[in-house]
Amino acid sequence: MKHKHYFWMLALLLLVFTAACSGGGDDQASGGNDDGGSDGEGSATGKVELFSWWTAGGEAEGLEAIIEQFKEEHPDIEVENAAVAGGAGSNAKAVLANRMQGGEPPSTFQVHGGDELLAGWVAADKMEPINDLYEENNWQDVFPQDLIDMVSKDGNQYAVPVNIHRGNVMFYNTSVFEENGLKAPTSWEEFLEVAETLQSKDITPLALGDKNVWPSTMIFESILLANLGAEDYDKLWNGEIGFDDERVVQSAETFKEVLAYVNEDHSARAWQDASQLVADGKAAINIMGDWANGYYQSKELKAEEDYGWAVTPGSEGTFMVITDTFGLPKGVENPDQVKEFLATLGSKEAQDTFNPIKGSIPARTDADSSKYGPYSTDTIKDFSEAALAPSLAHGSAAPEQVVTKVNQAVNVFVSQQEVDAFIQSLQDATSSLSE
Ligand code: BGC
């Protein structure tokens, strides 16, 4: 706590010093330093600073396409792409938290629908409702209610969803599968058999890049979803079912078995490096959200020909939902321009430009299906029929503190592989959920 005092003293000294240097403070008090906010010219610049973590193949191109479209519609508004690299926001979220706490919010930022938005920024009173945009653009009628619920609290809407990603999916190298006479496994038992066959032929069965842990958490949550079904999986994150449940223990056992088939250098790789192993035929399977579909497309790979896909074993009929959304932080300088940008993000044109490149499906239900490839066409259909389950690894199922602790537990498990200790640490990580 002492640090705090030093911090404020320093801040005060700095303020006095700056005021003295500028001859008594001629501009209006801006309430803090302004790096990365306005560039000193106030709201007249009309700049929209767009904060995300879309920097990998597929996601970066999708983002550029959406910015281009906005610029065409609004040549007078500048857009700054302030993306911070690191899959699933592993770095961006920390940068964002600092800025939000320091009163320097970006104009708008990528945030997952569900707890990450609602139990995080909305509960902390950092977001403006955007009900007016929902009304003006008729969004209540074009977004599925499940998605609207993921961005709403107490009757207010706080963000616009740009896409829907699926978390419970695996991609595989079609040539490797064909050459070895394999079919996509539909249960974890089958998965282990397929993995054993591949291993015996010196092919890495499962590509993993868990430098930032969450890709391992995704494998585990997919196993949980298969063993519990969507409804009971949900109850885990609501605190209604404990992590000592037999099905969770069994999932941990399976997770351990699966980990025997991953590439040795997994902890040095990012998700896209793991996806690349499958693209190169050096590994057979990649369990990853369907931004991997965008990644493969960006590497000129063809769906069906070069890579195939299937839901993760045992999760047929369920859909692990991940939705990227954008809202209006409190205290931005030019909310009107930001709202123009949000209106574009929610538009049919922008969603049909962005999502085919990103690998995701549109959040809107009235999208132009001719724009989507075979993978997304399948996924659009599945989304409308499946039981939805929010992803923990991507912040929708539980508050950020829980996600962080679960990731820590998974990280330890991946290296030590002790089931009892894992269950105990999962119970500790989630104890706040039943309070
Ligand atoms: C986001 C995706 C992104 C992926 C990899 C997920 O958390 O929802 O949009 O492509 O992380 O960075």
Residues 408 and 261 in one domain: yes
Residues 267 and 191 in one domain: yes
Q: Is 16 helix (H, G, I), strand (E, B) or coil?
A: helix
Query: Which residue has the CA at smallest separation from atom 7 of ligand 1?
Result: 88
Residues 311 and 332 in one domain: no
Q: Which residues contact 157 (CB under 8 A, 6 or more apart)?
A: 129, 130, 131, 133, 134, 139, 148, 151
Answer with the one of 383, 410, 426 that is the final residue of a domain. 383
pLDDT of residue 337: 97
Residues 70 and 174 in one domain: no
- How far, in Å, is the centroid of ligand 1 from the Cα of 153? 23
Contact call for residues 308 and 166 (beta carbons, < 8 A): no
pLDDT of residue 21: 34
Listing DSSP states for 242-294 in one string gives: -TTSHHHHHHHHHHHHHHTTB-TTGGG--HHHHHHHHHTTSEEEEE--THHHH
Q: From the alpha carbon of 56, which atom of ligand 1 is closest?
A: 12
Look-up of token digits 């894992």 = 422
Q: How far apart are CA 83 and CA 91, in angstroms?
A: 10
What is the extent of the structural domain holding 153?
6-164+324-383
Query: Which residue has the CA at smallest separation from atom 3 of ligand 1?
Result: 88
Query: Which residue has the CA at smallest separation from atom 8 of ligand 1?
Result: 324
pLDDT per residue of the chain (435 residues) written in tens, 0 to 9: 334 444 444 443 343 333 333 332 333 333 333 333 333 333 335 899 999 999 999 999 999 999 999 999 999 999 999 999 999 999 999 999 999 999 999 999 999 999 999 999 999 999 999 999 999 999 999 999 999 999 999 999 999 999 999 999 999 999 999 999 999 999 999 999 999 999 999 999 999 999 999 999 999 999 999 999 999 999 999 999 999 999 999 999 999 999 999 999 999 999 999 999 999 999 999 999 999 999 999 999 999 999 999 999 999 999 999 999 999 999 999 999 999 999 999 999 999 999 999 999 999 999 999 999 999 999 999 999 999 999 999 999 999 999 999 999 999 999 999 999 999 999 999 999 988
Q: How far apart are CA 325 and CA 163, in angstroms?
A: 8
Is 89 among the domain residues?
yes
Is 296 among the domain residues?
yes
Give me the CATH number covering residue 90: 3.40.190.10
Residues 183 and 221 in one domain: yes
Answer with the one of 363, 383, 403 that is the final residue of a domain. 383
Q: How far apart are CA 105 and CA 95, in angstroms?
A: 10
- With a 6 Å cutoff on the Cβ, whether 59 touches ligand 1 is yes
Is 389 among the domain residues?
no
pLDDT of residue 30: 31
pLDDT of residue 46: 81
- With a 6 Å cutoff on the Cβ, whether 324 touches ligand 1 is yes
Distances from the Cα of 226 to the Cαs of 4, 89, 186, 423, in angstroms? 47, 26, 10, 18
- With a 6 Å cutoff on the Cβ, whether 291 touches ligand 1 is yes
Is 1 among the domain residues?
no
- Give residue 421's identity as a one-letter amino acid code: A
- With a 6 Å cutoff on the Cβ, whether 290 touches ligand 1 is no
Query: Which residue has the CA at smallest separation from atom 12 of ligand 1?
Result: 87
Is 388 among the domain residues?
no
Residues 314 and 430 in one domain: yes
Residue 387 in tokens? 């039981």
Mutate to test the pocket of ligand 1, among 320, 324, 403, 407 (most ligand atoms within 8 A of CB): 324
Q: From the alpha carbon of 395, which atom of ligand 1 is closest?
A: 7
- With a 6 Å cutoff on the Cβ, whether 378 touches ligand 1 is no
Is 143 among the domain residues?
yes
Look-up of token digits 């309070």 = 435
**Number of compact structural domains in the chain:** 2
Residues 74 and 148 in one domain: yes
Contact call for residues 354 and 65 (beta carbons, < 8 A): yes
pLDDT of residue 179: 98
- With a 6 Å cutoff on the Cβ, whether 166 touches ligand 1 is no
pLDDT of residue 43: 39
Q: How far apart are CA 391 and CA 372, in angstroms?
A: 24
Residues 191 and 235 in one domain: yes
Residues 363 and 408 in one domain: no
Look-up of token digits 């909310």 = 335
Mutate to test the pocket of ligand 1, among 322, 361, 391, 392 (most ligand atoms within 8 A of CB): 322
- How far, in Å, is the centroid of ligand 1 from the Cα of 165? 8
Query: Which residue has the CA at smallest separation from atom 4 of ligand 1?
Result: 88
pLDDT of residue 205: 99
Q: From the alpha carbon of 165, which atom of ligand 1 is closest?
A: 8
Q: From the alpha carbon of 323, which atom of ligand 1 is closest?
A: 8
Query: Which residue has the CA at smallest separation from atom 6 of ligand 1?
Result: 88
Residues 232 and 309 in one domain: yes
Residues 184 and 58 in one domain: no
Residues 32 and 89 in one domain: yes
- How far, in Å, is the centroid of ligand 1 from the Cα of 197? 31
